[in-house]
Amino acid sequence: MKKALDPKTFDWITVAEYANRYGAKLDAMGAENKRQPTLCPVCRGAMTTVSENSPGDRDAVFRHVEARTNPKTPWCILRESTRWKYEGLTPTVPDVARGRLIRQSFLTNWQKHWAIIKNRVTLPGIEFFISAIRLADKSRVWEHRDLQECLMPYILMSMLEFPPPVGVAANRRTHTERYRFGGAIRTYEDLWFKTTGEFNMIAVEYEPAIPPKRVATVVLDIRKIDINLDFLEHDIPADLYAHPRQVVMMQNAFHI
């Protein structure tokens, strides 16, 4: 990632700023300096620098200390986020009948779910929303026992990667975004088995992948996502209603 937390002040710093505050990675004899490591903003695990001495520090980034180097390195979604798929695990004990009811209710309330996503994802497209629903169908997310409908917009957000938009909106977001749950949440079932009903979610901004790389890996920034679980009980704000074209696309996709 491009920035990490200063181990003393806990503010965001770049590799160059870290070197200025705590000294260079290597001393005059080429031996490694003993420096207090920066911290990951999510897991608070120790970070180390990569390419610190590259020209202009253009390629310098932070990464987690490898677990084999430090056995106390905590599991962190940022370290796994390029390949981690919450939906990869199908329901342990599926409840097919209840899942069918949740899906039906979701499609009835889809505009409320879309409003939650639209208000949190930077420039989402209804195509992404439709793709996420289809992915939820494929991975049988609805059948998770104890799943609550109010969790679905956050689950759908976690399923997809949002690349920079193209066309007229191209300059409104130039980074890739992924949405990840915080803490020890590694599966959707952890949302109700490992929490008391409250959980954290973050938006992770990535430097877009440059060919031949296919996956964005360099973290630029992180922001906290506001969690609202009682949205189904309230009306949709006027500015968050779906556009008529989006309504037609949803009707065509799911026959609603």
Helix axes 126-138, 244-254, angle to 10 degrees: 20
Which parts of the chain are beta strand (E)? 3-5, 12-14, 38-39, 46-50, 61-64, 161-162, 176-181, 201-206, 219-224
pLDDT value at position 82? 63
pLDDT value at 71 more than 90? no
Span 38-65, average pLDDT = 82
Supply the mean pLDDT for the chain.
Answer: 88
Higher pLDDT: 143 or 86? It is: 143
Quick one: DSSP state of residue 133?
H
Strand partners, 38: 47
Asked whether residue 55 carries a pLDDT value surpassing 60, the answer given is no
Q: What is the pLDDT of residue 87?
A: 66
Give pLDDT tens digits for 88-147.
667 888 999 999 999 999 999 999 999 999 999 988 889 999 999 999 999 999 999 999
Global pTM reads: 0.83
Evaluate if residue 54 carries a pLDDT over 90: no
Q: Which two tokens stand for residue 81?
A: 């986020």
CB of 191 within 8 A of CB of 181? Answer: yes
Statement: residue 66 has pLDDT above 80: no
For residues 82 and 39, the model is more confident at 39
Phi and psi, residue 12, nearest 5°: -70, 135
Mean pLDDT along residues 154-163? 92
Asked whether the beta carbons of 195 and 186 are under 8 A apart, the reply is no
